Amino acid sequence: MTAYIIRRLLLMIPTLFGIMVVSFIIVQFAPGGPVERVIAQLTGTDVAATARVGGTAEGDFGAAASGEAGGGDTSSQYRGAQGLDPEFIEKLEKQFGFDKPPHERFLMMMWNYITFDFGESYFRDVGVIDLIAEKLPVSISLGLWMTLISYGISIPLGIRKAVKDGTSFDVWTSSVIVIAYAIPGFLFAVLLIVLFAGGTFLDWFPLRGLTSDNWDELSLPMKIVDYFWHLTLPLLALSLSAFATTTFLTKNSFLDEIKKQYVMTARAKGLSETRVLYGHVFRNAMLIIVAGFPGAFIAAFFTGSLLIETIFSLDGLGLLSFESIVNRDYPVVFATLYIFSLMGLIINLISDLTYTWIDPRIDFESREV
């Protein structure tokens, strides 16, 4: 197993490098950039990704830069740069590192990432790691609880549906799950706001943030209550369509195992249905569920949900990623891509190792990566 782990770790290097190369090349062909972003601010043609972003650090940056801009007439490779001092444009290029050729910028970026130096945001005047750490509580809260709720309901429900296959319980639960899966989460979020968050009907739940303004004054039990009070509606909106895949996957996996010969043999020996189901079938049927858990966890934990975060005014990684891409904040874009890709590769390795823990018959050591 040690040799297999080493091979997988070594394979992560070219995989991660390839991800970064492809992403970097795509960005080079994308229109616009941080220099154009500053020029647009100076010329008054900038439209920020959100009103909140446009009025904070980026606006301050543009105001400061405008003091350095000259008024000479000149032609420029940047659209909208006419009337700006060429020396000012050169300073901007040097500040953002665009005075160097692309391959040199890429190699320098990768070297910095290898040494865990992820730099600072172009427009927020804060380190990328600090920025991610600031947004993580929202994504951790949404992703962690949504995954636990989803798996905590889907697995028992899928097992029950497998046992009751073809009955009225199986039919009506399948109908409910399919309908819920078809409803867009953001539309359900808006409906929840209208019904329960001060819309047309009730005003039971808050609409902003993870905690109340008087959080520091609350006792520990009240802090817990306040935390989940803020999370209730976002989690309901996120979880609506999260049950379908895992529930049906669990059901089909259990149905496949129940029909096998060893289950019939166990029943013939007089074992109870519960003992057969959870003592024999469960371990084999859950292998495919375990395979999908790390990917689902990573997706929910790190990527965040842009629409849900926006609707409920939650400042998490989903909103950060969107704003960084739109605002061409490349240090944040590439650093988050590098960190989350690396974590995804590591989680996939952990998932494979979990196979061997659940079923010792699986042997990766004898296989090629």
Mean pLDDT along residues 77-98: 67
- DSSP label of 214: T
Q: Picking from 23-32, 159-168, 223-232, which range would have the lowest pLDDT averaged per residue?
A: 23-32
- Residue range 259-299, pLDDT digits in tens: 888 888 888 888 887 888 887 788 778 777 776 676 666 66
Residue type, 214: N
pLDDT confidence of residue 52: 46
Q: Which two tokens stand for residue 158?
A: 């899928």
List of domains in the chain: 33-99 (no CATH), 129-326 (1.10.3720.10)
* Residue 198, token pair as written in the block: 């001060």
Q: Give the C-alpha separation, 301 to 347, whole Å.
A: 12
At a CB cut-off of 8 Å and minimum separation 6, what does 286 contact? Answer: 155, 253, 358
pLDDT of residue 57: 44
| Residue 59: half-sphere exposure toward Cβ, Cα within 13 Å | 10
* Nearest by Cα to 349 from 12, 18, 63, 22: 12
How many beta carbons lie within 10 A of that of residue 26, not counting itself? 9
Q: Which of 91-105, 107-121, 137-151, 299-313 has the lowest mean pLDDT?
A: 299-313
* pLDDT (tens digit per residue) in 135-181: 888 888 888 888 888 888 888 999 889 888 889 999 999 999 999 88
Number of Cβ within 10 Å of residue 151's Cβ equals 19
pTM of the full predicted structure?
0.71
